[in-house]
């Protein structure tokens, strides 16, 4: 595999990458600065395409090409061509609470987690058209990466504070989860599991925050591969056109402009393309 650094400003909290097959590009957010970036595989350039005063903790792509943005205040639709915004749902968050990661299932439901300032009262919400959101899990540390097995029978959910990924039986017809069990607990030296993707062979790929790596796991929880990332804080990843885009964060660096610690270690803030 080859890894290449993309040219863009340092992101204090790069996250939430998604693939747009129709336009052959990736999008991702800088949560803390409220920015959306786009990387085109055709031009190999990065563009800043949207900026708001809100923190963008989740990004999804709709069937009609709109970006669904999960912020610290609301859920909104961004029409890419006109840059127009439509508020879909207004959230009544507690002070310090915001969305942190989101995913859609094959039936069109949205799943989005939140975190709060105490890192102990996070929630996982399920959103369905025409219905009020439902809290599925609560009292979470940092609700993070999620994924579904290829057959839609398993739902994976990450809580970064205890460094665990939990798997649940999933009913795609009803959107219900059941019988949660520990799928994987990450060793402290490997970092904390963060953003996640599930590939076509049911392998789980998780970004290891603090561990300078992406970890590939089998559906039974066995470590299959470790992919080194030249930044201490990989935050998430997305597949697209035989590539993997990896986001990282400068959030805990001594210098948020450069992403480096005082000892010369690169904490993060850049994004990378991994290709075969």
Catalytic positions: 194
Distance CA 73, CA 124 (A): 16
Q: How far apart are the first and last CA of the chain?
A: 4
Alpha helices in the chain (DSSP H): none
Give phi and psi for 225, each to the nearest 5: -160, 150
Distance CA 148, CA 109 (A): 12
Within 10 angstroms of residue 109's Cβ, the number of other Cβ atoms is 17
Distance CA 156, CA 105 (A): 12
Distance CA 100, CA 116 (A): 10
Distance CA 227, CA 214 (A): 5
Taking the CA atoms of residue 267, residue 216, residue 154 and residue 157 in that order, the dihedral angle to the nearest 10 degrees is -20
Give every CB contact of residue 169 below 8 A, 6+ residues apart in sequence: 153, 154, 155, 177, 178, 179
Burial 39-73 (b: 16+ CB within 10 A, else e): bebeeeebeeebebebbbbbbbbeeeebbbbbbbb
Distance CA 1, CA 248 (A): 19
Q: Are the CB atoms for 31 and 53 separated by under 8 Å? A: no
């Amino acid at each position: 595999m080859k890894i290449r650094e993309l040219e863009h400003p340092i992101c204090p909290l790069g996250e939430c990458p998604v693939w747009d097959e129709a336009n052959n590009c990736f999008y991702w957010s800088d949560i803390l600065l409220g920015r959306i970036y786009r990387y085109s595989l055709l031009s190999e350039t990065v563009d800043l395409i949207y900026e708001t005063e809100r923190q963008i903790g989740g990004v999804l792509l709709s069937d009609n090409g709109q970006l669904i943005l999960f912020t610290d205040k609301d859920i909104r639709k961004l029409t890419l061509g006109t840059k127009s915004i439509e508020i879909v749902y207004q959230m009544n968050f507690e002070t310090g609470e915001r969305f942190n990661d989101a995913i859609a299932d094959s039936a069109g439901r949205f799943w989005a987690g939140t975190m709060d300032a105490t890192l102990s009262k996070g929630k996982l919400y399920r959103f369905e058209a025409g219905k009020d959101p439902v809290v599925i899990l609560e009292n979470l540390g940092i609700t993070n990466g999620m994924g579904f097995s290829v057959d839609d029978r398993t739902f994976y959910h990450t809580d970064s504070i205890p460094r665990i990924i939990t798997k649940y039986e999933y009913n795609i017809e009803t959107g219900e989860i059941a019988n949660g069990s520990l799928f994987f607990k990450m060793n402290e030296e490997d970092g904390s599991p963060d953003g996640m993707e599930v590939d076509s062979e049911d392998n789980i790929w998780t970004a290891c925050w603090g561990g300078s790596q992406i970890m590939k796991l089998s559906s039974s929880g066995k470590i299959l591969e470790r992919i080194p990332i030249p930044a201490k804080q990989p935050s998430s990843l997305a597949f697209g056109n035989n590539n993997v885009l990896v986001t990282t964060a400068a959030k805990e660096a001594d210098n948020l402009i450069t992403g480096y610690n005082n000892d010369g270690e690169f904490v993060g803030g850049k994004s990378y393309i991994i290709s075969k």
